[in-house]
Amino acid sequence: MIRRAATLALLLVAAPTHADAPAEPPGFRGAPYNAPVPDRLTGGSVLDAAATARWQAEGAVLIDVLPQIRRPEGLPAGTLWRVPGHETIPGAVWLPDTGYDWLAPPLESAFYAALDRLTGGDRSAPLVFFCKADCWMSWNAARRAILRGHSRVGWFPGGTDAWQQAGRPLQSTTPELNATAD
């Protein structure tokens, strides 16, 4: 009896609960963006790699929101600098910088225009947002789409990290947006 109670107590302590994940903020989450994320998205679906692949096979648009690395400030004139490549889920669209807590009006407009273009203006078309594991930017972008009226929003909090861990490939891509959050 004592052994069973001790085992049950150990399982309860070790078992993950909703209390282990941070709560959803009332608005958008700011920095630090690389931090533990909630286990839910009000108005959307939380997906793992297998569910993300199913959604994609069923026609969902996958949207990578990882920021684009910019040319470092202070590089001497004439210094050659190449934008680092970006690896994402095959078939995904890269809308960089669209997951910050605040978007400059031109970037916000470009984000909404991209969603309209990618869905043909159908706000019931499925969308899946992601970046890397523990990246609030994907949660912010998914929430932004929900607040805009999109009704089938998936959020893949594991992002490209979980995709690779599931044995799935990544591919090089280029950004679909050139607006900046500055």
C-alpha of 118 from chain center: 17
Q: Mean pLDDT throughout 33-50?
A: 97
Contact yes or no for 146/77 (Cβ under 8 A):
no
Entry pTM: 0.84
The pLDDT, as a whole number, for residue 178 is: 64
Residue 162 gets the label, from left (phi > 0), alpha (psi -120 to 50) or beta, of alpha
Q: Mind listing the pLDDT tens digit for each residue in 1-33?
A: 454 444 334 333 333 444 588 898 888 899 999
- How would residue 43 be classed by pLDDT, with cut points 50, 70 and 90? very high
Phi-psi region of 131 (alpha: psi -120 to 50; beta: other; left: phi over 0): alpha
Secondary-structure class of domain 47-69+84-182 per CATH = alpha beta
**Which residue type is seen at 61?**
V
Q: Rounded distance, CA 16 to CA 143, Å?
A: 24
Q: Which residues make Cβ contacts (< 8 Å) with residue 130, sequence separation at least 6?
A: 52, 62, 63, 64, 65, 89, 92, 138, 155, 156, 157, 158, 159, 160, 163
The string of pLDDT tens digits covering residues 156-182 is 999 999 999 999 999 999 998 765 444
For residue 125, the 8-state DSSP code is: S
Q: What is the pLDDT of residues 94-120, one digit of tens each?
A: 999 999 999 999 999 999 999 999 999
Q: Following CA atoms 160, 179, 60, 46 in sequence, which dihedral angle do they give, to the nearest 10 degrees?
A: 50
